[in-house]
Amino acid sequence: MTPAAEVSSRRHVASMCIGGVEFVIGTDDPEVVEAIDAHLGDFGSPDIRSDTGVAATPTVFVVDRIGPSWTIPTWAVTHGGELLFTSSNVQLIVRDLLSEAVRCMRRATTPRTVPVHGAAAVRGHRAVVFCGPTHAGKSTLVAWLVRRGWSFLSDDITLLDTNDEAATVVHPFPQPILVRGGGPIEVILGRTESQALSWIRASTIGSLGRAAPLAVLVFPSYSPTAETQLSPRSAARTLTEVSELLPFVDGDGSDEFRALADVVTRVPSYALPFADLAAASVLLEALVDGLPADGIPTPSEETL
């Protein structure tokens, strides 16, 4: 049975677009449908699809229940009839599907689209990627900017597509966002959630954005005593920090490193210590709005 025929025989079919590559997931199980909708629903949104770069034939995954709920494992994921993995945890099935889709997308793109640890948002078709360690304030800043009218691209993993020599393209990767009860994102969203931790869909924060050229790399660092300011960072330091925390590495990582080296020489990067989200967003909006019309800045001397 061809993958297309295999998926068409399933009652529920979901599609998603990752890095410009289309995926289709077929299943008969309502529990899986619910988990896919909660975790991967935004990947199927028409809002994130660009007109170009979409592969003609989608990659097909099928999720089947292989036994009653007390069997271990309960579900199996196949691709073209080949067993990929099994699990008794439906959340894990969905997340592993996402990891598998990222791997497939990377194999399908040449040179590879590089996933980096960072969040991203778009303003006026110019993408800004926020990098840095966990708890630096990336997600909070992106949530704030999206509430102010920017479009959401990604929260934890950001896809940098270096296929086009003229510009690095940032693809949407709208995973759900992990929100802490009483934390800054809840305050920004005006939610009062009793749970310590909960997942929310990216589209609940604001509009989802389409792939856009990368304009600036920003390294935020929240501190209540910081003086909010943007200052240029060296390309060498940026390359080191971005390549230190690569979430997916194929082979020995040198392809990813070369691609990132190319990115940091073309795109300026800035440090953004901040104490005040409003002041930080004013600086960022002035920076992005002041860029050349094509959205691709000329690297300044400080960034070289």
Residue 165 makes contact with another protein by CB under 8 A:
no
Q: Which of 265, 276, 279, 292 binds another protein (CB under 8 A)?
A: 265
Q: Which is nearer to another protein, 9 or 99 (CB)?
A: 99
Compute the least distance from the CB of residue 138 to another protein, in Å.
13
Q: Which is nearer to another protein, 116 or 169 (CB)?
A: 116
Q: Which of 89, 203, 207, 221 binds another protein (CB under 8 A)?
A: 89
Is the peptide bond between 30 and the residue preceding it cis, with omega within 30 degrees of 0?
no
Burial class of residue 232, CB neighbours in 10 A (0-12, 13-18, 19+): middle
Helices (H), 89-231: 90-108, 138-147, 184-189
Q: Are strands 126-131 and 212-222 parallel, antiparallel or unpaired?
A: parallel
User: What track of x and - describes contact with another protein for positions 231 through 250 (by CB under 8 A)?
Assistant: ---xxxx-xx--xx--xxx-
Token couple for 260: 């990132």
Residue 181 makes contact with another protein by CB under 8 A:
no
Q: Which is nearer to another protein, 98 or 218 (CB)?
A: 98
Q: Which of 52, 57, 110, 134 binds another protein (CB under 8 A)?
A: 134
Compute the least distance from the CB of residue 40 to another protein, in Å.
12
How many amino acids of this chain bind another protein (CB under 8 A)? 38
Please spell the DSSP secondary structure of 76-118, one letter per residue: EEEETTEEEEEES-HHHHHHHHHHHHHHHHHHHSSSPPEEEEE
Residue 195 makes contact with another protein by CB under 8 A:
no
Contact 66, 97 (CB under 8 A): no
Q: Are strands 177-180 and 231-232 parallel, antiparallel or unpaired?
A: unpaired
Residue 55 makes contact with another protein by CB under 8 A:
no
Contact 161, 171 (CB under 8 A): yes
Contact 153, 162 (CB under 8 A): no
Residue 78 makes contact with another protein by CB under 8 A:
no
* C-alpha separations of 289 from 277, 284, 294, 295 in Å: 18, 8, 11, 9
Residue 193 makes contact with another protein by CB under 8 A:
no
- Residues facing 129 on adjacent strands: 120, 217
Residue 156 makes contact with another protein by CB under 8 A:
yes
Residue 38 makes contact with another protein by CB under 8 A:
no
Q: For the CA atoms of the chain, what is the radius of gyration?
A: 20
Residue 96 makes contact with another protein by CB under 8 A:
yes
Binding site for another protein (CB under 8 A): 85, 87, 89, 91-92, 95-96, 98-99, 133-135, 156-157, 175, 178, 196-197, 234-237, 239-240, 243-244, 247-249, 252-254, 257-258, 261, 264-265, 304
